[in-house]
Amino acid sequence: MSDPQKDDPAAAGASVDSGDQSSWRSKAAMIVPLAIFFALGAVIDTSPKVDGDVIDASAYLTLVAARVLLMTGSLIFFTRQIATQFQWSVDRLGVIVGIVGALLWIGICEMQIERGGIAWLGLSPDWLPEREGVNPWMAFPGAGERGVFLILRFVLLVICVPIAEELFMRGFLMRAVEVEDWTRLPLSQIGRTGLVVGTVYAIASHPGEAIAATLWFSLVSWLMLRTGRFWNCVLAHAITNLLLGVYVCLFERWWLW
């Protein structure tokens, strides 16, 4: 018996409204939210102004708040286009993959395999970029400001980034390299080229965690091909990020976020 989710174009990631799907807004919906994330990072300078500081806390709070506000606004603006291409559909596999993905990511990052490999080659580990590593209890001594930061940081981590990144990566990039009329390509039909390009993006956007990014991306891509459900991928991404954020705060592993 065939899988009804894979036989249903809408559930598998293809639109049933071909006119709206081919519009510029339908394509922009896949790209703009993540573009906002990177554009704000380039515009707002968070470099430390005091020796010994990791970051300019005030500027970083502004950056996180701006990202949450503008990315959420863009997702609301493009709600119709996103819903047309990817109807809401999730299952327990999304939850399972999210949990397994978090365990993989945390375990591999804690081993710091990438830095060990760089050192083995005789190169300086400083060659690999590091995250901001912001400790909220150090950067924001006031409980109120710290609370606002943590709320915004988790909204960005668990909601905005998973949706925006999956829209760009699986909604646009991995489909666009497969066929010209990419907005009609179901996720379950993405081929080898799309998978390779997606893996390259995952590594390029997480060079300091290249091995973890490769394995995590491969796991979620398996979920994508297995179920054909876009929102399953978002759910897995969100759960991984949530568990990572909780782990970071509980064990003070600030360099992981």
Measured CA angle at 105 (ends 147, 101), to 5 deg: 95
Provide φ and ψ at 217, rounded to 5°: -60, -40
Cα(174)–Cα(186) distance, rounded to whole angstroms? 11
Percent of the chain exceeding pLDDT 90 equals 74
Mean predicted confidence (pLDDT) in 200-213: 92
Q: Is the pLDDT of residue 2 over 70?
A: no
Instruction: Specify the residue for token string 């360099």.
Output: 255
Q: Is the pLDDT of residue 145 over 80?
A: yes
Residue type, 86: F
Band of the pLDDT at 127, cuts 50, 70, 90?
low
The conformational region for residue 13 under phi > 0 = left, psi -120 to 50 = alpha, else beta, is left
pLDDT given for residue 8 in this prediction: 47
Residue type, 96: I
Cα(10)–Cα(82) distance, rounded to whole angstroms? 11
According to the 3-state scheme, what is the secondary structure of 178-216?
Answer: CCCCHHHCCHHHCCHHHHHHHHHHHHHHCHHHHHHHHHH
Q: Which domain holds residue 171?
A: 4-256
pLDDT given for residue 7 in this prediction: 39
Q: Confirm if 55 and 139 have CB atoms less than 8 A apart.
A: yes
Band of the pLDDT at 119, cuts 50, 70, 90?
low
Query: Hey, CA dihedral for 243, 245, 250, 255, is it positive or negative?
Result: positive
Domain count for the chain: 1
Cα(29)–Cα(220) distance, rounded to whole angstroms? 21
Cα(240)–Cα(46) distance, rounded to whole angstroms? 26
Longest dimension (CA), the chain: 65
Torsion of CA 106, 110, 114, 118, to 10 degrees: 170
Cα(92)–Cα(180) distance, rounded to whole angstroms? 33
Cα(235)–Cα(231) distance, rounded to whole angstroms? 6
Q: Is the pLDDT of residue 95 over 60?
A: yes
pLDDT digits (tens, 9 = 90+) for 7-64: 344 445 554 444 455 588 899 999 999 999 999 999 999 988 877 677 899 999 999 9
Averaged confidence pLDDT in the chain = 89
pLDDT given for residue 51 in this prediction: 72
